[in-house]
Amino acid sequence: MVSSAIGDRLSRHPQSMLISHLPTGLWLASSLADLLAIVTGRAFFLRLAQLAQTGGVLGTLALHLLRPAAAPGPNATIEQRDLAHLHTWLNNALPVIFGLSAGLHAGARRRPGAGAVLLTLLGVAGLFASRELNRRREAPAPAAGAGPARDEFVPVAALADLAPGTMKMVEVDNHTIALANVDGTVYAFSNVCPHRSGPLAEGTLRGDVVTCPWHASSFNVRTGAVAGGPARTGIPTYAVRLEGDQILVQRP
């Protein structure tokens, strides 16, 4: 994706800080100008708010295009996936909120309407929430050794519940893992497609190849290798043991 590539390059330079903080500063300035316009009734402050909002809309669009919320990696926990999806949704909503606010401001003469002010405040809160979501999803993982040993196997399902040619999603240590029964042999792999986080267990299984239901990326369930795009990276696989009718999977 072009915007992701631009964002990767931009994040390595000091200008990245300007792109991230300029929209927030402009919308905070707009909120202050709104308050002064409401208190004094002077058109000057309303025009100042409109000017700040014009720059804020452009800055928010630039932030949305140049630094999009990155998709969670294949080893992301369930919490990290939820945060990433919420972050993406919020980043998509902010330009719409600010655009509506700017449109309502454009029709005012001396004081902004209540709806315009509320939209501005909602957008400012959304900017801070977006930065907090990004901080939380990029928080470092717990240090190795802080949890259970990785080479430990845990029971996740009964073999009777996984007929040949079918798949099933299970959870292990807050990770979602897909199980696939290929001609009686069970394979385990990350349920998260590395392209756009699609749920692989809800896709299709043909032989030893699983196809993502969202954008049709496909992977070999034995090795995790990419079998077809648009995904460019493979998926993690996990060792499987059978104990009687129980399927055990190695911890991620």
Q: Which residue has the higher pLDDT, 161 or 78?
A: 161
Q: Is 181:162 a contact under the CB 8 Å cutoff?
A: yes
DSSP summary character for residue 111: S
- The SS3 of residue 250 is strand
Q: What is the pLDDT of residue 46?
A: 87
User: Would you state the structure tokens that stand for residue 61, as one six-digit string?
Assistant: 């669009």
Distance CA 22, CA 237 (A): 42
Q: Which helix (H) or strand (E) holds 189?
A: strand 185-190
**pLDDT tens digit sequence for 109-156:** 788 888 888 888 888 888 778 777 766 655 554 444 444 555 689 999
Q: Please state, for a pLDDT cut of 90, what percent of the chain lies above it.
A: 29
**pLDDT tens digit sequence for 12-50:** 444 444 555 777 788 888 888 888 988 888 888 888 888
Domain 153-250 has CATH 2.102.10.10: yes
- What order do you get walking across the sheet with 240-243 strand by strand? 153-158, 246-250, 240-243
Whether cis (ω within 30° of 0) applies to the bond prior to 14 is no
Q: What is the pLDDT of residue 16?
A: 46
